[in-house]
Amino acid sequence: MNIIFMLIIASLFIAILFFILFVKSVKTGQYDDVYTPSVRMLFDDELVKDKSSDKKNKKSIN
């Protein structure tokens, strides 16, 4: 029974440690993406073209 308590305490310690590291990385801007929003508008047209060409291909198959 003692081993279960030790494992619970160890897992809580590790979970709290990962949570603290995650919050620290978010606050320091680790997940800020400044490149993708500026490039996203360049690729929007390609997605629309792909969808319209798929519809044409489906019509020609039928």
The letter for the amino acid at 11 is: S
Domain limits for position 15: 2-61
Specify the number of domains making up the chain.
Answer: 1
Q: How far lies 21's CA from each of 5, 8, 31, 47, in Å? A: 24, 20, 13, 37
pTM, two decimals, is 0.53
- Element (DSSP H or E) covering residue 2: helix 2-27
What phi and psi, each to the nearest 5 degrees, are found at residue 12? Answer: -65, -40
Of 5-14, 35-44, 51-60, the range with the highest mean pLDDT is 5-14
**Amino acid type, 29:** G
**pLDDT 10s digits, 22-42:** 999 999 988 888 787 778 777
% of the chain with per-residue pLDDT over 70: 69
Cα–Cα distance measured from residue 59 to residue 55, given in angstroms and rounded to the nearest whole number: 6
So what's the pLDDT on residue 20? Answer: 98
With H, G, I as helix, E, B as strand and everything else as coil, classify residue 35.
Answer: coil
